[in-house]
Amino acid sequence: MTGLDFQLALAIGLFVLAAVFAYFVFASFLFGAGYQPTPRRSVETMLRYAEVGPRDTLYDLGAGTGAIVFRAARIYRARVIGVEVEPIRYVILVLRRSFGPFSDRITLRRGNLFRLDLHDATVVTAFLWPGAMARLRPKFESELPPGARVVSHCHRVPGWTAERYDSKTDVYLYRWPDAIAPVTEGGT
């Protein structure tokens, strides 16, 4: 291989790497949010606020690489369903599940979260963009069973009243259907 061939191969390699990275981060922008793992402290607030426990069925809408999924299953012992649209992240989720404990508690779905049926959800977690949260609102209202808790990092469910909000970790807790009850003092 000449010096020129090597430079060309290196350039192609770097281009492919950059393309894969850009795809990994930006592809799901089209669906509702790009990729950014929920910070550990926010995950803890979400799971504590929702009082997640072994009797819960938790849906993580846009599961990413599993920051919420694996913590909810391993530490809080919930049955967890994680849905992720982006294939590389989905493969990472499947690999993490295969090599970790409590895999029987974790169901993974590759696809669009807006097509998921939430009728058996007791807890829903989300770290999605405002537009996706707005699209989710009518879905929550028609599918969630009474008493279900929705916890969201960063963005609120528009038009709903939060039961709690933690400004340090930017986490909103909603309880369905109280979230659409007339606003009480202290509601967010």
**Binding residues vs ligand SAM (CB under 6 A):** 28, 31-33, 35-38, 60, 62-64, 67-68, 83-86, 89, 112-114, 127-128
Residue 38's CB: how many other CB atoms inside 10 A?
A: 24
Sequence-distant (≥ 6) Cβ neighbours of residue 112 within 8 angstroms: 31, 83, 85
Nearer to ligand SAM, 85 or 161 (CB): 85
Question: What is the full DSSP assignment across 138-151?
Answer: HHHHHHPPTT-EEE
User: Could you give the strand order of the β-sheet that contains 149-153, starting from the edge strand earlier in sequence?
Assistant: 106-110, 79-84, 57-61, 123-126, 149-153, 171-175, 164-166
Cβ-closest residue to ligand SAM?
Answer: 62
Nearer to ligand SAM, 89 or 175 (CB): 89
Q: How far is the CB of 1 from ligand SAM (least distance, A)?
A: 38
Residue closest to 88 by CA, chosen among 19, 13, 152: 19
Q: How far is the CB of 77 from ligand SAM (least distance, A)?
A: 18
Q: How far is the CB of 85 from ligand SAM (least distance, A)?
A: 3
Asked whether 45 and 162 are in contact (CB, 8 A), the reply is no
Q: How far is the CB of 32 from ligand SAM (least distance, A)?
A: 3
Nearer to ligand SAM, 58 or 161 (CB): 58
Nearer to ligand SAM, 161 or 171 (CB): 171
